[in-house]
Structure formats: C-alpha cells, structure tokens
Chains A and B, each alone.
Chain A
Amino acid sequence: MALNTLEFYVKIGAATKSIDKPLHLGVVGSGDMEVLMEPKDLKGAASVKVVTPVAGFEELWKRLIETFATETLLGDVQFKINDNNATPAVVLLRLRQAFTEATEE
C-alpha cells in the first residue's frame, strides 16, 4: 500500500478564464481534500497532480476535472491536490470554492 500519484492534463477547447495568483484551499480531513491552484502557461490546458491513498479512480478524477473545466472555462492552471478519500461531490465543491475565491477579487 503506497500513496498513489495521478498526473494528467485536461484540455477543453473553449478555455477562456485564467487565474492571476496562486491559491490554496482546504484541509486534508477524512473525506476531504486540499488544492493548490497555480497559474501556468499551458496553452489553455490544465495540469493535474493528485496524491491519494485510494487506488483505481483515475478515470473518475479526469472526468471530474473535465466537468469542472467545462463549467468554469478555466485553463492555464496547475492543480495540485492532496486527497483523503473525498467523494466526487466534495471534490467538485472544493474546486468550485477555490475557483470562486481565486476569481473574486
């Protein structure tokens, strides 16, 4: 049993939004996660690194980030996520919170 590291890129065609400063949100409680969002020129794509004790959900993570990117049109961003058994609903919630905070001010 080791920690699993998933690394992948997500690119949606229509990415038009970006963030201008790095942001950290969340606490790695049980069933929760934290995310670092950092701006990075990736030609509209998003790079994702997830560190999680749970194995076998890479496809689901990809679909979640795609859903999030499609919903927010966010690109040129680097996600670094520490997960501790967060459910998909919690993951989306935290990402949305981070996005709101990053684009608010």
Chain B
Amino acid sequence: MPKWNDLQEQNFLESDARARAIGLVDEGSFTELAGPFDRFHSPHLETLGEAVEFDDGIVTGVGKIGKTLVFVISQEGRFIGGSVGEVGSAKMVNTIRLATEFYDKLVAEHPDATDEEKPIVVISFETGGVRLHESNAGLLAHAEVIDQIQKARHKVPVISVIGSKIGCFGGMGFVAAATDAIVMSEYGRLGLTGPEVIEQEMGKEEFDSGDRALVFRTTGGRHKYIMGDCDVLVKGSIKDFREALQKLAPLPVSDFEAMRRVASPELVEKQLKLVALTAELQPKDARDLWAKAGNADPIATENKPIDEFLAETKRLTI
C-alpha cells in the first residue's frame, strides 16, 4: 500500500485509482470496501475472454477529512480506459447509498450534528464512460448512478474530482455534471463526446484531436473554470486536491446548490441563456468565449502560469 506522505506531493495526473483514494483523505483513514480481496470482477468480460480485474477498475471506500466522513469512489483509467460496467457502477451506487443511509441515521440519532460532521461523497473520475463490452448493463448502470446522486441531493454533497490522464468523458461526463461540485486541475478534461470520437465521426476539420492545445482549451480545466463547469481549479498534486476538499467538506449542503449545473428550473433557465449566447456569438474557438467573459488577451490566458491564471482570469457570468 502506498505511503500517505509520499502521495501528497505526487502528481494527481499520474496517480492510480488507489493512490488517489488514499491520498485524498486524511492520513491512515482510508478503508477500502469491496476491494480486490473480495474479488468482484465483471462476469461479462470473462464471457468475452477479456482480461478482468479484481476490483473491476474502481476503488471504493471510506475515509475522513477532519470531522467529515468521506465516501470515496476512484476510477482506474489504465483498466479498459476506466470504462464503467455493471460491477463498477454497482460499487459506485452502493457507496453513494451508504453515504445517504449514514446521513439519515446520523440526523435521526443526532439532530444537533454540525455540517462538518455530515458525510460527503467524492468521486475521482478517470473514464471514457460506458464499458461497451457490457452494452445495456453499462448504460443502465450510468442511469442508476445519476439516480442515486439525486437521492443524495439536499443530504449528502457529491463532489467530482477530475485531474487524471483520461479525463472524464462519455456517459460519465453526464454523471459528473449531475454532481454538486466539480474540482479540477488544468490537466483534467471534462466533456461528453471525447476528442477522438468527434474527429472520427465529424472529420478533422470539425475537431483535430491531435492538436493537444486545441483539445485542452476546449475540454481542459482552464476552459471549464471560465465557463463555470468547474467550481474549483487547483494546481496539480494530490495534496492540492485534498486541500480543496478540506474547504468544501464543512460547508452546509445548501451551499452546494449554487455550484450545481443541473436539476432545477433556474438552472435550466441559465443553460438556455448560455445556448442563446453561443447562438448570438457563434464562437469559432474557446478563446472567443474567454474574450466574451472579459479576458482581453485569450492567448495569454491560455499560457500564463496557473497562479496568475487563478488570480487574474475573469469567469463567464450569465
């Protein structure tokens, strides 16, 4: 098992799922649930003759940040692109369900529990979405996760953490959008259809997935931060992410409503205004929107060091 102290300075981008799960909570507090020793692997992959993994590519468990109990879900991108199938999503659903049940019990038995003592869920995404080998089971699984996030709403904040190599794409992009808050690093990428898939379906003229700068300024953390898709932008070590969670953990659950992206009439209104704005603006590049947000020199916005970016950049207000 990796040592907590070594993990803190480690680059989040290159950390595997277990290292992230252990490092995102307080030292020595992480307990894995349904881990590799329980050997829940995917029955579908076995039938197809594909390699299986003992934890099905997802680490789930529980830890603590200060007084807050943190239910952690962490996806492993190196196992079939972090794709989520039946077993993996059952682990996600049940982790969120456990958190919600714990909340219900806590509030029933201790009505005076402070916000700090109420649990949160943290999902560290590294995935391209549905595991296509598991087709309908995989798709249904995504719906179940979103359903469980809605059940946790107004009770347990669900926080997305995105800063891993594969990013968060496909069906899991929807799941991330349905969570209460999103924390990213500039190397994190968030979207629905991934860059390679857009290029494959629509052609290189539409989107050149080989153009790294283009990919990052369209799906990367800086752009998502300006657009309001990401609530907190952090530098890049596991410690940076943990400290961001430390700030979010004690907040009352009502504070998270303001950070949400979906699931209220006001937010639908806001999204429609954004659609109207893009229809009017006809942006050819993410930079056009950055300029609209009030950043006079979008190329500098893209290239300046992250500290300066965080201090100077204006975010789009709708």
Contact = CB atoms under 8 A, between A and B. Distances in A.
A53 interface: yes
B252 interface: no
Nearest to A1: B49
A1 to B, nearest CB: 4
Contact of A27 (B41, B46, B52, B78): B78
Contacts of A24: 35-37, 54
For the residues of B in contact with A, the DSSP-based class is loop
Nearest to A23: B1
Interface in A80-105: 80, 82-85, 101
Interface residues on A, range: 20 to 34
Interface residues of B, number: 21
Interface in A14-35: 22, 24, 27-30, 32, 34
B116 interface: no
Contact of A83 (B35, B47, B51, B78): B51
A82 B37 contact: no
A28 B36 CA distance: 12
Interface of B: 1, 16-17, 35-37, 39, 41, 45-54, 76, 78-79
Given A27-B16, A27-B76, A82-B41, 10 more contacts: A3-B50, A27-B78, A28-B53, A32-B78, A36-B54, A51-B52, A52-B51, A80-B39, A82-B52, A82-B53
